[in-house]
Amino acid sequence: MMRGLALGAAFLVSLGVAVFAGVHIISAVERPTTTTTYSMQVGDITRQYEVIAPTAPLPKSAPIIVVLAGAAATNSVEIPRDRIAPYAAADKAEVVYPVAIAESWNAIGCCDGAAKQNIDDVGFIKALVPTIDPGHARPIYIVGYSVGGRLAYRLACTDPTLFDGMAAVKADPMPGCVVTKPMNLIVFSSKDDKYVPFTPDEKGKETPSATTQIGRLRSHMECPGKPTVATHGTMTLSSWNCANGKRLQWAVYPTGGHNFPPPKGDTAGANQLIWSWITNTPLAPAPS
């Protein structure tokens, strides 16, 4: 797909994907981006996704970050919540937000509209990836929050090479979903999350507990030994080197419930950690 989308109201057909009018400029530290809504056919359903990109072309080394929003949230809610779009404004990445059906994802057993309608969200994301990154010319990562993370896990279990890595934010996999192929993975947990319990003895709406899931990931991804542990404010980050040169990281916050972790004081936000993990660079402040 062409990078650096032109401004204006237009109707294009490219690679079998319909591109609809509605491109607009967003200013961020005097570095504009374009936000464009695309449409594509998946089975009998027309699906949409939004692309936030710098106006200038990005190098092939710049990552594409696909973000799956949490339940009951439109992308207009998710974009300011996860704070990943500023990396596009800083000419560092392209950020893609698939549009959910009924503000939900069909992640099996959860949650509401998309599951009840048996929406093929796995088929949607699998068709989306080669559309936004033909020939896998760019590094591409998926970030899933809550039920979006549950769908990201489902993709990792069924097609672990679709993405170069996955960030699961306050999410559990569907029952029977086991990540058996080593991959770059970062997991976010809060000790007071009422949906994803932190330890097996705590009650929550989902299973397994965060500690149990990390143990499973370490085992299946062959991440031996003790982790390297770093503290950033109140957040603790554990890192393992796994099989095939892959990395597993676990960010644990003492509080924050089921929310997407924001930066707060000297405590790193999930957006900063995700960028550090994607680029394998030291933790740094996010673009403002």
* Assigned domain for 287 exists: no
Cα–Cα dist 182/156, whole Å = 10
Within a domain: 120: yes
Query: Mean per-residue pLDDT for 123-129?
Result: 97
Nearest Cα residue to 260 out of 209, 190, 208, 196: 190
Distance, in Å, from the CA atom of 182 to the CA atom of 224, rounded to the nearest integer, reads 12
pLDDT digits (tens, 9 = 90+) for 132-183: 999 999 999 999 999 999 999 999 999 999 999 999 999 999 888 999 888 9
Taking the C-alpha atoms of residue 223 and residue 109, their distance in angstroms, rounded to an integer, is 29
DSSP-derived letter for residue 169 is E
Do 4 and 53 touch, CB atoms closer than 8 A? yes
The domain total for the chain is 1
Confidence of residue 109 (pLDDT cuts 50, 70, 90): low
Phi/psi class of residue 48: alpha, beta or left (left: φ > 0; alpha: ψ in -120 to 50)? beta
Among 258, 280, 15, 44, residue whose Cα is nearest residue 130:
15
On average, the pLDDT of the chain sits at: 89
CATH number, domain at 56?
Answer: 3.40.50.1820
**C-alpha gyration radius of the chain:** 18
Q: Is residue 168 part of a domain?
A: yes
284 inside domain: no
- Nearest residue to 278 (alpha-carbon basis) of 63, 123, 21, 38: 63
Residues 82-111, mean pLDDT to the nearest whole number: 92
* Structural domain range at position 186: 49-279
40 found inside a domain: no
What CA–CA distance (Å, rounded) separates 254 from 256? 7
Structural domain contains residue 22: no
Model-level pTM?
0.89
Cis peptide bond prior to 157, omega within 30° of 0: no
Nearest to 271, CA basis, from 192, 188, 211: 188
- pLDDT by residue (tens digit) across 248-265? 999 999 999 999 999 999
